[in-house]
Amino acid sequence: MRIELTRPWPRVRTAEGLSCGGDQNWFPDRNFRLCGCGVVACADTLLYLTGRGELEQEEYERYVNSLRKYFPLVPHHGIDGVRLAIGLNALLRKRGVRVRAGWSASGARFWDRLARLLANDLPAIVAIGPSFPRVWDAERLQLYRRTGGAYVAAARTKGHFLTVLGLDDDWMRVSSWGQELYIERRAYADYMRRQGALFTNLVYLERMEKQS
């Protein structure tokens, strides 16, 4: 089984070339670089849903800055999934996009919901939550880069939002830090089981029926 979004993910033209989505590390605000991943995931999702495919980096940064008031970041902690969905809903309504967002806090239907999102051409904003309730736990989830047919370790993270662009039986293809990366499904499921589904989960999008 392989499910993918039907259109290319938004790209940003930088000095290094075209990115895969945005990167909070482009911004001068230290707290945003530390905690702005959820805002970037929402910005990229809005760009996809409104059909904007490619932007210059300066244009992208202005766009993200125009959204930041909808996503209040707690210094050093960022934003939780519920508040992220609230801010995204406000922006979807403002732009007339007939999609609504909600935070899923149950692990039971995670994979079904993720597959349904992608099958309906809706991006999935997924959280690799902080350790809970063991906030001191240093466990992180491994992300990979695909080189040829091999998956090469690229980064380890926790307390992070990213966007899922595709799914097969073994891997999630994701956009994070302006890169196309991969997460092993089994590893994510194990992480969710150990850390709990309250913070390790997804923003569930749903298309609204058109009014007659």
Enumerate helices (H) and strands (E) in the chain, giving the number of each.
6, 12
For residue range 2-58, list pLDDT tens digits in order: 999 999 999 999 999 999 999 999 999 999 999 999 999 999 999 999 999 899 999
Q: Which amino acid is located at 138 in the chain? A: A
Which pTM was predicted?
Answer: 0.93
Tokens 């530390």, residue located: 34
CA 80/CA 140 separation, integer angstroms: 18
pLDDT-based confidence at 210, cuts 50/70/90? low
Domain spanning 11-206: which CATH class is it, in words?
alpha beta
For residue range 168-193, list pLDDT tens digits in order: 999 999 999 999 999 999 999 999 99
Q: Where are the domains of the chain?
A: 11-206
Short-list 118, 121, 99, 105, CA closest to 192: 105
Asked if the model's pLDDT at residue 134 lies above 60, the reply is no
Asked if the model's pLDDT at residue 89 lies above 60, the reply is yes
- Mean pLDDT, the chain, as a whole number? 93
Kindly state the helix (H) or strand (E) to which residue 35 belongs, with its residue range.
Answer: helix 30-35
Kindly state the helix (H) or strand (E) to which residue 147 belongs, with its residue range.
Answer: strand 141-147
Asked if the model's pLDDT at residue 84 lies above 80, the reply is yes
Tokens of 118: 């992608």
Phi then psi for residue 161, to 5 deg, are -105, 145
